[in-house]
Chains A and B, each alone.
Chain A
């Protein structure tokens, strides 16, 4: 059933995101042409048009980034907590599947949007010889990699993987904080959106307070001395440990909000 939910979720969101990407692509191509032929033209109207196209590209980047964020909240709110919720929550699927479908689709659009913006920026920067320069850069890059020791290369690859996992999980956890606030706020009989905003900032305050207290507590405790554990890692290992601990923290942060979201959707759903 999750696969079917994903199919319809992509259908619902794709109709908004795909045209946005098309606009981004069109303005990127336009900006490239503007940079080459229009801006600085002796005809001021052409030059102004070129500037406008480049400005439109800037707005398109802003728009596509904003839309992927807005869509993450709007789909959860409208599809589950508004009138459509009567249809969605009477499907033979679990609350967990609903949440995962929203999370996965949001994360996919976040990542696609970042890739689309990078791609569009490359289109804008493209000039005669650009491809050759890119290939040269990649060749030097890989030649540099060959000079690395196996441990350095391995470490670098693992850093990238860890960083990617961290960013992905952080996006999902951040989405879950919004979902939890919306689900908690909409369990109230009145002023549901106001309650949701209040819950979001309430969660944020609790999170920051408990995080700060935990840090202070750990610092004062001087855990390594207490455990009589003599640990003096190399910088490479310390980075791994740091990244893995960050991943662990993000997982806990996400799990808390996942639990809050499921609790309210399962036990205190209160559709208008």
Chain B
């Protein structure tokens, strides 16, 4: 059973097409890079998978379910923006995730917060932007979900934080789950990916395993991306 499946998926914003007949599947146990330039439709696709948008045509399913209330309990989503309530303390945020998600591993989250020296009473608002993003990632990765959808997890952070974020992803995801990482910073994520989907102007340009790209094309994913999306 595929964890994420799209068939001829279309989404328009007014006259502008964000996705045009997008089709692909993501199998469990894979870390997939959803790669494409800015405005290629990555965020739209992730929003559709979360039920934050409704498709105009085509079909999208998560664990054989249309995105909705049931599928949301299986998906752990890291949005591009800081969505955690800033007025909450770290402990209140743990309560929040624990209340709504049966698969939330509070002990794992507390351990990761401890490594960052974040006190449970510390209020999110008092944290730096980078720390807020780390806390949000910790909450997302502390779930034993079936599908992790991470939208630009390393965008706008320093290289040291990028390393922290990637190691947190790799060290905490459920091995039976699929991880979809949307980004255009390919060089940084390439080392953790099993598979890549190149997306441009709302269409899939390539879906391949990273090993296959290296063997058949003789180049890194980053180099292939630069070649495919050359301006």
**Contact B53–A90 (Cβ < 8 Å):** no
Give complex CA distance A92, B97 in Å. 11
Q: In the complex, how many angstroms separate the beta carbon of A84 from the nearest chain B beta carbon?
A: 6
Give complex CA distance A214, B54 in Å. 37
Nearest chain-A residue to B95 (Cβ)?
A: A8
**Contact B54–A267 (Cβ < 8 Å):** yes
Binary CB contact string for chain A from 237 to 272 against chain B (1 if under 8 A, 0 otherwise): 000000000000000000000000000000111110
**Contact A87–B69 (Cβ < 8 Å):** no
Q: In the complex, how many angstroms separate the beta carbon of B22 from the nearest chain A beta carbon?
A: 19
Interface presence of B215 (CB below 8 A): no
A267-B54, A269-B53 given as contacts; is B83 within 8 A of A87 (CB)? yes
**Contact B50–A90 (Cβ < 8 Å):** yes
**Contact A87–B73 (Cβ < 8 Å):** no
Interface presence of B164 (CB below 8 A): no
A7-B99, A85-B83 given as contacts; is B77 within 8 A of A90 (CB)? yes
**Contact A92–B83 (Cβ < 8 Å):** no
**Contact B99–A93 (Cβ < 8 Å):** no
- Residues 149-171 of A at the B interface (beta carbon under 8 Å): none
Binary CB contact string for chain B from 24 to 59 against chain A (1 if under 8 A, 0 otherwise): 000000000000000000000001001111100000
Binary CB contact string for chain A from 52 to 85 against chain B (1 if under 8 A, 0 otherwise): 0000000000000000000000000001000111
**Contact B85–A12 (Cβ < 8 Å):** yes
When distances are taken between beta carbons in the complex, the residues of chain A under 8 Å from B54 are 267-268
Nearest chain-A residue to B50 (Cβ)?
A: A90
Q: In the complex, how many angstroms separate the beta carbon of B30 from the nearest chain A beta carbon?
A: 22
Q: Interface size (B, Cβ < 8 Å)?
A: 26
Give complex CA distance A171, B57 in Å. 40
**Contact B73–A92 (Cβ < 8 Å):** yes
Nearest chain-A residue to B79 (Cβ)?
A: A86
Give complex CA distance A93, B81 in Å. 21
**Contact B13–A189 (Cβ < 8 Å):** yes
When distances are taken between beta carbons in the complex, the residues of chain A under 8 Å from B92 are 11
A1-B100, A85-B83, A86-B52 given as contacts; is B77 within 8 A of A92 (CB)? no
Give complex CA distance A91, B52 in Å. 11
Binary CB contact string for chain B from 69 to 103 against chain A (1 if under 8 A, 0 otherwise): 11011010101011111010000100010011100
Give complex CA distance A1, B72 in Å. 13
Interface presence of B14 (CB below 8 A): yes
When distances are taken between beta carbons in the complex, the residues of chain A under 8 Å from B75 are 90
When distances are taken between beta carbons in the complex, the residues of chain B under 8 Å from A4 are 99-100
Q: In the complex, how many angstroms separate the beta carbon of A34 from the nearest chain B beta carbon?
A: 34
Binary CB contact string for chain A from 7 to 18 against chain B (1 if under 8 A, 0 otherwise): 110011001000
A4-B99, A269-B52, A269-B53 given as contacts; is B84 within 8 A of A90 (CB)? no
**Contact B14–A89 (Cβ < 8 Å):** no
Give complex CA distance A7, B69 in Å. 20
Please pick, from B73, B83, B96, the residue contacting A83 in the complex, using a CB distance under 8 A: B83
Binary CB contact string for chain B from 14 to 27 against chain A (1 if under 8 A, 0 otherwise): 10000000000000
A12-B87, A86-B79 given as contacts; is B100 within 8 A of A92 (CB)? yes
Interface presence of A94 (CB below 8 A): yes
Nearest chain-A residue to B73 (Cβ)?
A: A92
Q: In the complex, how many angstroms separate the beta carbon of A268 from the nearest chain B beta carbon?
A: 8
**Contact A189–B14 (Cβ < 8 Å):** yes
Give complex CA distance A92, B92 in Å. 19
Please pick, from B14, B52, B72, B101, the residue contacting A271 in the complex, using a CB distance under 8 A: B52
Nearest chain-A residue to B99 (Cβ)?
A: A4
Nearest chain-B residue to A95 (Cβ)?
A: B69
When distances are taken between beta carbons in the complex, the residues of chain A under 8 Å from B47 are 271
Q: In the complex, how many angstroms separate the beta carbon of B91 from the nearest chain A beta carbon?
A: 12
19 contacts between A and B (CB under 8 A): A1-B100, A4-B100, A7-B99, A8-B96, A12-B85, A79-B85, A83-B79, A83-B82, A86-B79, A86-B83, A87-B83, A87-B84, A89-B50, A89-B51, A92-B70, A92-B72, A93-B69, A93-B100, A189-B13
Q: In the complex, given contacts A8-B96, A94-B69, A271-B47, what are 17 additional A-B residue pairs having Cβ atoms less than 8 angstroms apart?
A: A7-B99, A12-B85, A15-B87, A83-B79, A83-B82, A83-B83, A86-B52, A86-B81, A86-B83, A87-B85, A89-B50, A89-B51, A90-B77, A91-B100, A92-B70, A92-B101, A271-B52
Q: Tell me the A residues contacting B by CB distance below 8 Å.
A: 1, 4, 7-8, 11-12, 15, 79, 83-87, 89-94, 189, 267-271
